[in-house]
Amino acid sequence: MLNTRKVLYVSPGGLSSKWKVHCQGSLMVTFFDNKDKAIHHAKLLVGRYPKGYCSQIKVKKLDGTFQTEWTYGKDPFPPIG
């Protein structure tokens, strides 16, 4: 089975005071009024992926550093071999 990880990022919306959710490799961005709503939406999206599909949510703070991350499905680390 090929392990493909889709990373969903929750991050500040730039010049606006909104928070955004965007998926790695996708141009689609969804904006929310606050971080909690954005995280909730990201968790809903992960739940819609097929079973066994490895997904990750990474949450950024206002300063751009990562606050937290969650991995769902089979984590590819440590690598086999």
Tens digits of residue pLDDT in 50-81: 765 658 899 999 998 999 998 877 666 666 66
Instruction: Note whether residue 59 is domain-resident.
Output: yes
pLDDT of residue 1: 44
| Domain count within the chain | 1
Would 41 be classed as within a structural domain? yes
pTM for this entry = 0.78
| 11 has pLDDT over 80 | yes
pLDDT given for residue 7 in this prediction = 87
Distance CA 26, CA 2 (A): 20
| Domain-located, residue 77 | no
Q: Which residues contact 46 (CB under 8 A, 6 or more apart)?
A: 8, 55, 57, 70, 72
Query: Closest by alpha carbon to 53, among 76, 26, 81?
Result: 76
For range 12-20, the mean pLDDT: 88
Enclosing domain of residue 19: 6-72
Express each pLDDT in 20-39 by its tens digit.
Answer: 999 888 888 999 999 999 99
